[in-house]
Amino acid sequence: MRVLAALSGGVDSAVAAARAIDAGHDVVGVHMALSRSRAQLRTGSRGCCSIEDAGDARRAADVLGIPYYVWDLSERFEDTVVADFLAEYAAGRTPNPCVRCNEHIKFEALLDKALALGFDAVCTGHYARIEHPAGDAAAPELHRAREAAKDQSYVLAVMGPERLARSMFPLGDVMSKDDVRAEAAARGLSVSAKPDSYDICFVADGDTQGFLRERLGARPGDVVDTTGAVVGAHEGAYAYTVGQRKGLALGRPAPDGRPRYVLSIEPVSNTVVVGPAEALQVGGIHGDAAVWFARPTDDAWFACTVQVRAHGEDVPALARAVGDEVDVRLDAAAPALHGVAPGQSLVLYDGTRVLGQATVRATTPTVPA
Protein backbone atom coordinates (compact mmCIF):
# COMPACT_ATOMS: atom_id res chain seq x y z
CA MET A 1 0.00 0.00 0.00
CA ARG A 2 0.95 3.63 -0.46
CA VAL A 3 1.03 5.06 3.05
CA LEU A 4 1.35 8.67 4.17
CA ALA A 5 3.15 8.77 7.52
CA ALA A 6 2.30 11.79 9.67
CA LEU A 7 5.65 12.79 11.22
CA SER A 8 5.11 15.07 14.20
CA GLY A 9 8.80 15.29 15.02
CA GLY A 10 8.47 12.97 17.99
CA VAL A 11 9.68 9.47 18.64
CA ASP A 12 6.29 7.75 18.33
CA SER A 13 5.50 8.89 14.80
CA ALA A 14 9.05 8.16 13.63
CA VAL A 15 8.95 4.56 14.89
CA ALA A 16 5.42 4.11 13.50
CA ALA A 17 6.69 5.18 10.07
CA ALA A 18 9.65 2.81 10.37
CA ARG A 19 7.32 -0.08 11.17
CA ALA A 20 5.16 0.76 8.17
CA ILE A 21 8.28 0.55 5.99
CA ASP A 22 9.22 -2.78 7.57
CA ALA A 23 5.73 -4.05 6.71
CA GLY A 24 6.51 -3.50 3.04
CA HIS A 25 4.48 -0.35 2.43
CA ASP A 26 5.52 2.51 0.13
CA VAL A 27 5.84 5.26 2.73
CA VAL A 28 6.03 9.04 2.34
CA GLY A 29 6.50 11.33 5.34
CA VAL A 30 4.62 14.57 5.90
CA HIS A 31 4.76 17.11 8.70
CA MET A 32 1.73 19.26 9.40
CA ALA A 33 2.55 22.93 9.90
CA LEU A 34 -0.23 24.10 12.17
CA SER A 35 1.00 27.59 12.99
CA ARG A 36 2.88 30.32 11.15
CA SER A 37 3.82 32.01 14.41
CA ARG A 38 7.45 31.95 15.53
CA ALA A 39 6.08 31.79 19.08
CA GLN A 40 5.36 28.13 18.45
CA LEU A 41 9.09 27.43 18.85
CA ARG A 42 9.54 25.60 22.14
CA THR A 43 12.52 24.14 23.88
CA GLY A 44 12.05 20.57 25.03
CA SER A 45 8.84 20.00 23.04
CA ARG A 46 6.41 21.41 25.53
CA GLY A 47 3.74 21.02 22.86
CA CYS A 48 3.69 19.41 19.45
CA CYS A 49 3.90 20.58 15.83
CA SER A 50 6.33 23.40 16.65
CA ILE A 51 9.05 24.74 14.38
CA GLU A 52 11.73 22.59 16.00
CA ASP A 53 9.51 19.55 15.48
CA ALA A 54 9.52 20.12 11.72
CA GLY A 55 13.32 19.84 11.73
CA ASP A 56 13.21 16.68 13.83
CA ALA A 57 10.66 15.19 11.44
CA ARG A 58 12.88 15.93 8.45
CA ARG A 59 15.87 14.29 10.09
CA ALA A 60 13.78 11.21 10.90
CA ALA A 61 12.64 10.96 7.28
CA ASP A 62 16.27 11.21 6.13
CA VAL A 63 17.29 8.34 8.41
CA LEU A 64 14.35 6.26 7.23
CA GLY A 65 15.14 7.06 3.60
CA ILE A 66 11.66 8.27 2.67
CA PRO A 67 10.43 11.39 0.85
CA TYR A 68 9.41 14.21 3.18
CA TYR A 69 7.05 17.14 2.77
CA VAL A 70 5.59 19.88 4.95
CA TRP A 71 1.92 20.64 4.47
CA ASP A 72 0.61 24.00 5.65
CA LEU A 73 -2.63 23.29 7.49
CA SER A 74 -2.39 26.34 9.73
CA GLU A 75 -5.46 28.10 8.33
CA ARG A 76 -7.60 24.97 8.66
CA PHE A 77 -6.27 24.45 12.19
CA GLU A 78 -7.11 28.02 13.21
CA ASP A 79 -10.59 27.86 11.68
CA THR A 80 -11.51 24.55 13.28
CA VAL A 81 -9.50 23.54 16.34
CA VAL A 82 -8.61 26.98 17.72
CA ALA A 83 -11.99 28.49 16.82
CA ASP A 84 -13.81 25.60 18.52
CA PHE A 85 -11.55 25.96 21.59
CA LEU A 86 -12.45 29.64 21.97
CA ALA A 87 -16.15 29.20 21.20
CA GLU A 88 -16.56 26.36 23.69
CA TYR A 89 -14.87 28.23 26.53
CA ALA A 90 -16.91 31.34 25.72
CA ALA A 91 -20.05 29.21 25.96
CA GLY A 92 -19.10 27.94 29.43
CA ARG A 93 -17.88 24.53 28.29
CA THR A 94 -14.49 22.81 28.48
CA PRO A 95 -13.28 21.55 25.09
CA ASN A 96 -10.66 18.93 24.31
CA PRO A 97 -8.52 20.34 21.48
CA CYS A 98 -6.72 17.03 20.90
CA VAL A 99 -10.06 15.39 20.06
CA ARG A 100 -10.89 18.20 17.64
CA CYS A 101 -7.42 18.05 16.06
CA ASN A 102 -7.87 14.33 15.39
CA GLU A 103 -11.35 15.01 14.00
CA HIS A 104 -10.67 18.02 11.79
CA ILE A 105 -6.95 17.86 10.99
CA LYS A 106 -5.33 14.42 11.22
CA PHE A 107 -8.27 12.30 10.12
CA GLU A 108 -10.11 14.81 7.96
CA ALA A 109 -7.87 17.41 6.32
CA LEU A 110 -4.75 15.23 6.27
CA LEU A 111 -6.49 11.97 5.40
CA ASP A 112 -8.73 13.50 2.74
CA LYS A 113 -5.75 15.12 1.05
CA ALA A 114 -3.79 11.86 1.24
CA LEU A 115 -6.62 9.92 -0.41
CA ALA A 116 -6.97 12.58 -3.11
CA LEU A 117 -3.26 12.13 -3.90
CA GLY A 118 -3.64 8.38 -4.29
CA PHE A 119 -2.49 7.15 -0.87
CA ASP A 120 -4.29 4.18 0.62
CA ALA A 121 -3.88 5.03 4.30
CA VAL A 122 -2.44 7.44 6.85
CA CYS A 123 -0.02 6.12 9.48
CA THR A 124 0.37 7.85 12.85
CA GLY A 125 2.11 7.19 16.15
CA HIS A 126 -1.07 6.96 18.20
CA TYR A 127 -1.31 4.26 20.83
CA ALA A 128 -4.43 2.33 19.84
CA ARG A 129 -5.23 -0.91 18.03
CA ILE A 130 -7.24 -1.63 14.89
CA GLU A 131 -8.74 -5.11 14.73
CA HIS A 132 -10.72 -7.01 12.07
CA PRO A 133 -12.38 -9.91 13.95
CA ALA A 134 -14.98 -10.36 11.19
CA GLY A 135 -12.41 -10.28 8.40
CA ASP A 136 -10.71 -7.54 6.41
CA ALA A 137 -13.84 -6.85 4.36
CA ALA A 138 -15.85 -5.93 7.47
CA ALA A 139 -15.73 -2.61 9.30
CA PRO A 140 -12.64 -2.35 11.52
CA GLU A 141 -12.81 -2.08 15.29
CA LEU A 142 -10.95 0.49 17.39
CA HIS A 143 -9.47 -0.95 20.58
CA ARG A 144 -7.38 0.31 23.47
CA ALA A 145 -3.61 0.02 23.16
CA ARG A 146 -1.80 -2.84 24.88
CA GLU A 147 0.00 -0.27 27.05
CA ALA A 148 -2.88 1.10 29.12
CA ALA A 149 -0.91 4.09 30.39
CA LYS A 150 -0.33 5.33 26.82
CA ASP A 151 -3.72 4.43 25.37
CA GLN A 152 -5.13 7.14 23.07
CA SER A 153 -8.34 5.47 21.92
CA TYR A 154 -10.27 8.11 23.88
CA VAL A 155 -9.10 10.97 21.64
CA LEU A 156 -9.40 8.85 18.49
CA ALA A 157 -13.00 7.74 19.01
CA VAL A 158 -14.33 10.76 17.14
CA MET A 159 -12.91 9.54 13.81
CA GLY A 160 -15.55 6.89 13.06
CA PRO A 161 -15.25 3.57 11.20
CA GLU A 162 -14.84 4.91 7.66
CA ARG A 163 -11.74 6.91 8.53
CA LEU A 164 -10.46 4.16 10.79
CA ALA A 165 -10.47 1.86 7.75
CA ARG A 166 -7.93 4.20 6.12
CA SER A 167 -5.67 4.49 9.16
CA MET A 168 -2.70 2.60 10.60
CA PHE A 169 -1.51 2.62 14.24
CA PRO A 170 1.67 0.49 14.28
CA LEU A 171 2.35 1.20 17.99
CA GLY A 172 -0.90 -0.27 19.27
CA ASP A 173 0.71 -3.52 20.40
CA VAL A 174 3.86 -2.14 22.06
CA MET A 175 4.18 -2.87 25.75
CA SER A 176 5.89 0.32 26.91
CA LYS A 177 7.17 3.69 25.75
CA ASP A 178 10.65 2.54 26.79
CA ASP A 179 10.43 -0.14 24.10
CA VAL A 180 9.61 2.52 21.51
CA ARG A 181 12.56 4.66 22.58
CA ALA A 182 14.89 1.65 22.51
CA GLU A 183 13.69 0.79 19.01
CA ALA A 184 14.21 4.37 17.85
CA ALA A 185 17.76 4.37 19.23
CA ALA A 186 18.51 1.06 17.51
CA ARG A 187 17.31 2.55 14.22
CA GLY A 188 19.55 5.59 14.64
CA LEU A 189 16.71 8.06 15.10
CA SER A 190 17.89 11.13 16.99
CA VAL A 191 14.44 11.65 18.55
CA SER A 192 14.82 8.50 20.65
CA ALA A 193 15.39 10.51 23.85
CA LYS A 194 13.15 13.47 22.97
CA PRO A 195 10.72 14.35 25.79
CA ASP A 196 7.04 13.64 25.30
CA SER A 197 4.89 16.55 24.19
CA TYR A 198 2.20 17.84 26.51
CA ASP A 199 -0.10 20.81 27.06
CA ILE A 200 -2.06 22.53 24.32
CA CYS A 201 0.11 22.88 21.24
CA PHE A 202 -1.16 26.32 20.20
CA VAL A 203 -0.69 27.86 23.66
CA ALA A 204 3.04 28.52 23.38
CA ASP A 205 3.79 29.34 27.02
CA GLY A 206 1.31 26.90 28.58
CA ASP A 207 -0.79 29.75 30.01
CA THR A 208 -4.27 28.75 28.86
CA GLN A 209 -6.02 31.45 30.88
CA GLY A 210 -3.72 34.10 29.41
CA PHE A 211 -4.42 32.82 25.89
CA LEU A 212 -8.18 32.97 26.49
CA ARG A 213 -7.96 36.43 28.01
CA GLU A 214 -5.95 37.70 25.02
CA ARG A 215 -8.41 36.26 22.50
CA LEU A 216 -11.71 36.79 24.36
CA GLY A 217 -10.91 39.90 26.39
CA ALA A 218 -11.63 40.64 30.06
CA ARG A 219 -15.22 39.93 31.09
CA PRO A 220 -15.55 40.68 34.83
CA GLY A 221 -18.36 39.00 36.72
CA ASP A 222 -19.42 37.39 39.97
CA VAL A 223 -18.63 34.08 41.61
CA VAL A 224 -21.73 32.95 43.50
CA ASP A 225 -22.66 30.05 45.75
CA THR A 226 -25.66 27.77 45.30
CA THR A 227 -27.93 30.27 47.09
CA GLY A 228 -26.95 33.04 44.67
CA ALA A 229 -24.86 34.94 47.22
CA VAL A 230 -21.79 36.64 45.75
CA VAL A 231 -18.64 35.12 47.24
CA GLY A 232 -16.01 36.40 44.82
CA ALA A 233 -15.24 37.96 41.47
CA HIS A 234 -13.66 36.83 38.21
CA GLU A 235 -12.16 38.45 35.11
CA GLY A 236 -13.74 35.97 32.73
CA ALA A 237 -15.99 32.97 33.35
CA TYR A 238 -14.24 31.26 30.44
CA ALA A 239 -11.17 30.80 32.66
CA TYR A 240 -12.96 28.22 34.84
CA THR A 241 -13.99 24.62 34.39
CA VAL A 242 -16.41 22.37 36.23
CA GLY A 243 -14.68 20.63 39.14
CA GLN A 244 -12.00 23.30 39.55
CA ARG A 245 -10.90 24.07 43.11
CA LYS A 246 -7.66 26.06 42.82
CA GLY A 247 -7.47 29.68 41.77
CA LEU A 248 -11.01 30.65 42.78
CA ALA A 249 -9.87 33.54 45.02
CA LEU A 250 -13.10 33.56 46.99
CA GLY A 251 -13.68 36.52 49.28
CA ARG A 252 -16.06 34.67 51.61
CA PRO A 253 -15.37 31.21 53.03
CA ALA A 254 -18.09 28.57 53.06
CA PRO A 255 -20.19 28.59 56.28
CA ASP A 256 -18.97 25.08 57.11
CA GLY A 257 -15.36 25.95 56.25
CA ARG A 258 -15.11 23.21 53.61
CA PRO A 259 -13.49 23.72 50.19
CA ARG A 260 -15.69 24.81 47.32
CA TYR A 261 -15.51 23.79 43.69
CA VAL A 262 -16.81 25.12 40.42
CA LEU A 263 -20.23 23.54 39.84
CA SER A 264 -21.21 25.36 36.67
CA ILE A 265 -20.37 28.27 34.40
CA GLU A 266 -23.30 30.46 33.32
CA PRO A 267 -22.25 32.46 30.23
CA VAL A 268 -25.50 34.44 29.90
CA SER A 269 -25.27 35.90 33.40
CA ASN A 270 -21.45 35.71 33.30
CA THR A 271 -21.35 33.98 36.68
CA VAL A 272 -19.37 31.08 38.08
CA VAL A 273 -21.29 28.92 40.55
CA VAL A 274 -19.35 27.19 43.34
CA GLY A 275 -20.36 24.66 45.96
CA PRO A 276 -19.38 21.53 47.89
CA ALA A 277 -17.62 18.51 46.39
CA GLU A 278 -20.64 16.23 46.74
CA ALA A 279 -22.59 18.46 44.35
CA LEU A 280 -20.18 17.40 41.60
CA GLN A 281 -21.10 13.73 41.80
CA VAL A 282 -22.70 12.66 38.53
CA GLY A 283 -25.42 10.05 38.09
CA GLY A 284 -26.17 10.56 34.41
CA ILE A 285 -24.66 12.12 31.29
CA HIS A 286 -26.25 13.41 28.10
CA GLY A 287 -24.15 13.76 24.95
CA ASP A 288 -24.76 14.77 21.35
CA ALA A 289 -23.03 14.66 17.95
CA ALA A 290 -22.56 10.92 18.43
CA VAL A 291 -20.13 8.91 16.31
CA TRP A 292 -20.62 5.12 16.35
CA PHE A 293 -18.32 2.26 15.48
CA ALA A 294 -21.06 -0.19 16.44
CA ARG A 295 -24.41 1.58 16.42
CA PRO A 296 -26.92 0.17 18.91
CA THR A 297 -30.67 0.00 18.36
CA ASP A 298 -32.25 3.36 19.15
CA ASP A 299 -33.80 3.63 22.64
CA ALA A 300 -32.43 0.23 23.73
CA TRP A 301 -30.34 0.40 26.89
CA PHE A 302 -27.10 -1.60 26.81
CA ALA A 303 -24.27 -2.24 29.27
CA CYS A 304 -20.91 -0.63 28.64
CA THR A 305 -18.18 1.35 30.36
CA VAL A 306 -17.71 5.08 29.83
CA GLN A 307 -14.70 7.38 29.97
CA VAL A 308 -15.02 11.16 30.24
CA ARG A 309 -11.41 12.31 30.49
CA ALA A 310 -8.36 11.56 28.35
CA HIS A 311 -6.51 9.98 31.27
CA GLY A 312 -9.52 9.00 33.34
CA GLU A 313 -10.76 5.59 34.37
CA ASP A 314 -13.73 4.03 32.62
CA VAL A 315 -16.70 3.17 34.79
CA PRO A 316 -19.67 0.77 34.34
CA ALA A 317 -22.86 2.26 32.95
CA LEU A 318 -25.99 1.74 30.90
CA ALA A 319 -26.33 3.75 27.70
CA ARG A 320 -28.75 4.24 24.84
CA ALA A 321 -28.70 6.00 21.48
CA VAL A 322 -31.47 8.44 20.59
CA GLY A 323 -30.84 9.77 17.10
CA ASP A 324 -27.44 11.47 17.24
CA GLU A 325 -27.65 11.81 21.02
CA VAL A 326 -26.57 9.50 23.86
CA ASP A 327 -27.96 9.04 27.35
CA VAL A 328 -25.85 7.39 30.05
CA ARG A 329 -26.83 6.11 33.50
CA LEU A 330 -23.84 5.45 35.70
CA ASP A 331 -23.77 2.30 37.80
CA ALA A 332 -24.61 3.36 41.36
CA ALA A 333 -22.32 0.65 42.73
CA ALA A 334 -19.33 1.84 40.68
CA PRO A 335 -16.80 4.47 41.73
CA ALA A 336 -18.47 7.86 41.40
CA LEU A 337 -17.65 10.33 38.65
CA HIS A 338 -17.15 13.90 39.80
CA GLY A 339 -16.97 17.17 37.93
CA VAL A 340 -17.83 16.00 34.41
CA ALA A 341 -17.47 19.14 32.31
CA PRO A 342 -19.76 19.89 29.37
CA GLY A 343 -17.71 20.02 26.18
CA GLN A 344 -15.60 16.99 27.02
CA SER A 345 -15.64 13.77 25.04
CA LEU A 346 -17.77 10.86 26.26
CA VAL A 347 -16.45 7.52 24.98
CA LEU A 348 -18.26 4.21 25.36
CA TYR A 349 -16.40 0.89 25.53
CA ASP A 350 -17.14 -2.81 25.48
CA GLY A 351 -14.03 -4.17 27.15
CA THR A 352 -11.17 -2.71 25.10
CA ARG A 353 -13.37 -1.99 22.08
CA VAL A 354 -14.61 1.53 21.37
CA LEU A 355 -18.35 1.49 20.68
CA GLY A 356 -18.90 5.18 20.12
CA GLN A 357 -18.29 8.74 21.15
CA ALA A 358 -20.31 11.87 21.88
CA THR A 359 -19.75 15.35 23.28
CA VAL A 360 -20.96 15.93 26.84
CA ARG A 361 -23.71 18.54 26.86
CA ALA A 362 -25.33 18.05 30.28
CA THR A 363 -25.10 15.95 33.43
CA THR A 364 -27.55 14.95 36.14
CA PRO A 365 -26.50 14.69 39.79
CA THR A 366 -26.49 11.50 41.77
CA VAL A 367 -29.80 11.06 43.55
CA PRO A 368 -29.14 10.79 47.32
CA ALA A 369 -29.98 7.39 48.84
Annotated catalytic residues are 101, 201
**Strand ranges in the chain using DSSP code E only, listed in sequence order:** 2-6, 26-33, 68-72, 121-123, 128-131, 141-144, 167-168, 221-224, 230-234, 261-266, 271-275, 281-292, 302-307, 315-322, 325-330, 337-338, 345-350, 353-365
Pairing status of strand 271-275 against strand 26-33: unpaired
DSSP per-residue letters across 235-288: S-GGG--TT--TT---SS--TT----EEEEEETTTTEEEEE-GGGGEEEEEEEE
> Which residue from 196, 55, 26 is spatially nearest to 123, judged by alpha carbons?
26
Which residues, listed in sequence order, are joined to residue 291 by a DSSP beta bridge?
A: 357
What does R_g of the chain's alpha carbons equal in angstroms?
A: 22
Q: What SS3 state is found at 354?
A: strand
Q: How many CB atoms lie within 10 A of CB 9?
A: 24
> Which residue from 132, 89, 106 is spatially nearest to 30, judged by alpha carbons?
106
Question: Tell me, what DSSP letter sits at residue 326?
Answer: E
Helices (H) and strands (E) in the chain, counts: 10, 18
Pairing status of strand 26-33 against strand 68-72: parallel
Q: From residue 216, how far is each of 64, 128, 327 by CA, in Å?
A: 44, 36, 32
**Could you give the CA distance from residue 321 to residue 329 in angstroms, rounded to a whole number?**
12
At residue 174, what are phi and psi to the nearest 5 degrees?
A: -70, 150
Q: How many CB atoms lie within 10 A of CB 125?
A: 22
